[in-house]
Structure formats: structure tokens, C-alpha cells
Amino acid sequence: MELYLDTANLQEIKEVSELGIIRGVTTNPTLLAKEDPSVDFKQRILEIHRLVGGHVSVEVVSTDKEGMVREAEEIVEWFPEATIKIPMIPQGLAAVKELSKRGIPTNVTLVFSATQAIAAHQAGASYVSIFLGRLDDIAYDGIAILNDICEIWDVQGYDSLIIAASIRNPLHIIEAARAGADIATIPYNVLMQSLKNPLTDRGLENFLRDYDRYLTERQKSMLI
């Protein structure tokens, strides 16, 4: 399972890219709206791509097929490597079909059920994003639904890639990997939290303290 960062924040992307653990970034209008509005949208997306060097999903905001296709065409004009994020609505499926005919990769977003996921795949989606946290929020079991979808993908031999999205905690990452998701797209704070373990911190503290003690003892022994 590959890890993507779910953010539009350049500092977060720069910091995590340097760790060598992410292969892409997913953005959405809500994430973009959290950032400095004085930075031009195109510049931000191109900078994200420069920093991460891999997959970048860019979401459209039209709700009709023609508008979505037009937006996608405009995006790939200035950013040919873009994956176009399309909402899971009937008009979105029609847009995915059209974009797939033109060889433009799509990521169908806001998917909450296996039937929606199957439809997105059939329309020609390259990626299908399942929203775990938002399912949990309404007392549905997001991981159980992801498990179903991964099983269906195996049985059917579907080749579109499953993204576990709306990840809220490190357990979601583990369960998404166990289910067989191809990608988990993770917010910065959850990803950083998932790297930490108090035993690692305590272990390092002890190693450094013991090394200091060794140096002091050694210096003392050389004075004798």
C-alpha cells in the first residue's frame, strides 16, 4: 500500500516528502480553502507536484458533465500529469467515461458504498476513493465497507486502484493495508502521529544517556 498526503499545505508536503515515505498528494476544495488565498491555484498545484514528484489529484468543482470535462481539460493543459478528482454523482460518472476515452486519469471521490465503487470502476475510473472516517462519523463501519470493496476487486479482477481516504487515525492506516487498499491518503497530523512510539523515544533517550555516561567514564579512566 502506498502512502499519499491528504493536504494542500506546501510546508507539510515539503516536510513529509523529505522523509521519503509518500508517493503522492490528494487535494480537495476544502483543503485548498484552508491555505493562503493569495497563492495562485495553478502555482500551488505545480509546486505540490514539484515537491512530491508523484501523483497529484486535483478536484473539479463543476457538477455537470460538460463543466467537469472542461475543467479537466484546462487542468491538464497546464499540468499534464494531473489526476482529475471527480465526485461520485451520475454526471461525474459520465465525465469519467469521457475523460477515460481521452486517456485522462480520474479519481472518483466521495465514495461511501460498494455499489458506488463498482459504478465508478465501470465508468473507467483510474482511482476510487473510499471515505472511511465520514462513514464512521455516521455509525457505519468504514473499514468493513472497504474490506467488501477490496474483496470485490479481487474476485472481479478490477484494475482500478482503491484509495482509502478520510483517514482519521493510525488504526485506519493499518486496517486499510490489511484490507488490501492500494493507497491510503492521510492528513499530515495522522501520518506524523503514526510514526511515533513512546518506546522509540524512551529507547533513544536511554541510548544517548548511556553513550554520554560511557564517554565520561572513558575520560575519567584516561586521567588515571
Residues that bind ligand G3P (CB under 6 A): 6, 26, 28, 131, 133-134, 165-166, 185
Phi, psi of 108 (to 5 degrees): -80, 125
Closest CA to 7 of 37, 61, 52, 53: 52
Pick 62 or 205: Cβ nearer ligand G3P: 62
DSSP 195-221: H--HHHHHHHHHHHHHHHHHHHHHHHH
Q: Which residues participate in catalysis according to the annotation?
A: 85
Pick 189 or 216: Cβ nearer ligand G3P: 189
Pick 29 or 203: Cβ nearer ligand G3P: 29
Least CB distance from residue 202 to ligand G3P, whole Å? 31
Least CB distance from residue 166 to ligand G3P, whole Å? 3
* Partners of 57 in beta bridges: 26, 83
Considering all CA atoms of the chain, what is the largest pairwise distance in Å, rounded to the nearest integer?
Answer: 85
C-alpha cell at 78: 497546464
Residue nearest ligand G3P by beta-carbon distance? 166
d(CA 8, CA 31): 6
Pick 171 or 204: Cβ nearer ligand G3P: 171
Angle, CA of 153, 2 and 148, to the nearest 5°: 25
- What Å distances lie between residue 25 and 19, 46, 57, CA to CA? 14, 12, 7
Least CB distance from residue 127 to ligand G3P, whole Å? 11
